[in-house]
Amino acid sequence: MKKGSYALIGTGAAFWASISIFVNALYETGFSALEIVFLRVLSAALIMFVYIALTNRELFNIHFSDTYYFIGTGIFSIVFFNWCYFTTIKEASVAIAAILLYTAPIFVFLMSRMIFKERLSSLKILALLVAVVGCVLISGYFPSGGVLLSTNMLLIGLGSGFGYALYTILGKAALEKYDPMTVTAYTFAVATIGLFPISGMGAVITASHNIDTLFYIFGLGLIPTVLGYILYTKGLHYVEAGKASIIAAVEPVVATTIGISVFNEILSIWQFAGILMILFAVLLTQKENGI
């Protein structure tokens, strides 16, 4: 099952990467970053709850004492990392935001070691380093002059990586008690509740005025969100958190490919090198298990 789980994680990450197609369309409609995040989690929660209600209502059953899992994945991960990520994009640049976001595997490895007692083999550490360098190269920020960040912006940027990593850690813990569908559904439900006071009502009113906009919102909720997180969470059930975070680094590879093929972006030699490094890192995680 582990080999299939790697494929689930990689496919889920690839679905995540398609988010730019829907987000760019919604930006053109006039939504703010936080409004798009809210519409993403709201549409995902609605899709998940309708699907579960029609297929297996037992998946709704959770213990009230376990709600902290979903507060963690929904608020401290989904909402927090998106806020940090979009703030870094606005105040610094997309490239720097991407670099700091993909410090996530480092946080996953550290927390996995402390919480799950996962072994830090030399091959796993090598794969981590290769993946992080690959993400830096793919971001397009190869050192040429340097960019000076304030301490606050650096911490906020690193916060996006930490929040991103929390889903892997808290999701792994929740999977010991609940089905991946349950974890995903309640994660987005809690994220929706958390974001509604900030940007919910205005986003819903704006969205209701245009059929095309509703189509993009549905696509955003289904493809890079529901499908992406379900596949990743299912795979995470059978794979160590640290390895999962490395495999998920295929996301910027797919995102770069989409940028080239859909948005006519140009791939630099450094970005191509970054793609090869990430693919190599994924192969290293598989090699450790003799796959």
Q: Shortest CA distance to 41 belongs to which of 208, 229, 205?
A: 229
pTM score: 0.79
Cα–Cα dist 83/102, whole Å: 15
The total of other beta-carbon atoms located within 10 Å of residue 262's CB is 12
SS (H, E, C) 141-153: CCCCCCCCCCHHH
Q: What is the 3-state secondary structure (H, E, C) of 43-92?
A: HHHHHHHHHHHHHCHHHHCCCHHHHHHHHHHHHHHHHHHHHHHHHHHHHC
Query: Residue 197 CB: number of other CB atoms within 10 A?
Result: 8
Instruction: Show the DSSP H helices in the chain as ranges.
Output: 2-17, 19-29, 33-55, 67-71, 80-91, 94-101, 104-115, 122-138, 151-174, 180-195, 201-207, 211-221, 228-236, 241-247, 250-261, 269-287
Tokens of 165: 């990593």
d(CA 162, CA 108): 8
- Low-confidence stretches of the chain (pLDDT beneath 50): 144-146, 290-291
The gap from C-alpha 57 to its chain's centroid, in whole angstroms, comes to 27
Domain that holds residue 74: 1-288
Q: How many domains does the chain have?
A: 1
Asked if 104 and 165 touch (Cβ cutoff 8 Å), the reply is: yes
Q: What is the DSSP letter of 176?
A: T
Return the ∠ at Cα 164 (arms to 70 and 219), rounded to 5°: 80
Rounded distance, CA 264 to CA 258, Å? 9
Question: Which pLDDT tens digit goes with each residue over 134-165?
Answer: 877 776 655 544 455 677 888 888 898 899 88
**Position of tokens 């830090």?**
120
- Contacts of 196-203 with C-beta under 8 Å, sequence gap 24+, read 196/38, 198/34, 198/38, 199/32, 199/34, 199/35, 199/37, 199/38, 200/38, 200/42, 202/35, 203/31, 203/35, 203/36, 203/38, 203/39
Distance of CA 251 to the CA centre of its chain: 9
Provide the pLDDT for residue 261: 80
Burial of 49 (0-12, 13-18, 19+ CB in 10 A): middle
Torsion of Cα atoms, 170 then 37 then 157 then 197, to 10°: -90
